[in-house]
Amino acid sequence: MLSGCYPSWTGKMVEHLFEDIFIVTRLDPDGKKFDKVTRIEAKSEQFDISLNLDGTPDTGYYTQAGRKTLADKYDYVMHGKLYKISEDSSSGAATRVEIYASFGGLLMMLKGDPSNAASFELDQRLFLLIRKV
């Protein structure tokens, strides 16, 4: 489940950008490129959106020194930057938007209807919060 994309915390209320449940369809579709990185392909349950996401195993080394945070409610958390938004009209039918984010070299691409991308902005910093359902 991709549970949410949130802009980086700036001292005020965190805005929720996108939330949905994704069903994993394939792991490493082009073969294993890196020993410690797995690429996930998934399809949205609620919207017509596809997801490609790189991830690594959780090391468990990061702690909040006992403080409660939003991250405590999720299994996997990444912080990154949205670096590209483009349109893909190669499918012939409806135009789809592609949203690209980098989380320290681990990449994510969301592809879907442009109406679902209205609140995303180029160079926006965000948190990706994931939990299994």
Please report whether residue 92 resides in a domain: yes
Question: Strand 96-103 relative to strand 22-27: parallel, antiparallel, unpaired?
Answer: unpaired
Looking up residue 12, the CATH number of its domain turns out to be 2.40.50.140
Give the model's pLDDT for residue 132.
86
Distance CA 6, CA 48 (A): 20
Please report whether residue 63 resides in a domain: no
Please report whether residue 23 resides in a domain: yes
- The torsion defined by the Cα of 55, 57, 59 and 60, in degrees rounded to 10, comes to 90
pTM of structure: 0.80
- Identify any residues that bridge with 2 across adjacent strands, giving them in sequence order: 20, 130
Please report whether residue 64 resides in a domain: no
For residue 116, the enclosing domain spans 2-58+69-130
Other CB atoms within a 10 A radius of the CB of residue 2 amount to: 22
pLDDT band, residue 3 (cuts 50/70/90): very low
For residue range 39-79, what is the model confidence (pLDDT) as tens digits? Answer: 999 999 988 899 999 988 777 666 767 788 878 888 888 88
Specify the length of the chain in residues. Answer: 133
Give me 54's structure tokens: 């790189």
Give the model's pLDDT for residue 35.
85
For residue range 70-103, what is the model confidence (pLDDT) as tens digits? Answer: 788 888 888 899 999 998 766 667 788 999 999 9
**Per the structure, how many domains does the chain have?**
1
pLDDT band, residue 6 (cuts 50/70/90): low
Please report whether residue 27 resides in a domain: yes
Q: Is the pLDDT of residue 126 over 70?
A: yes
Distance CA 103, CA 2 (A): 15
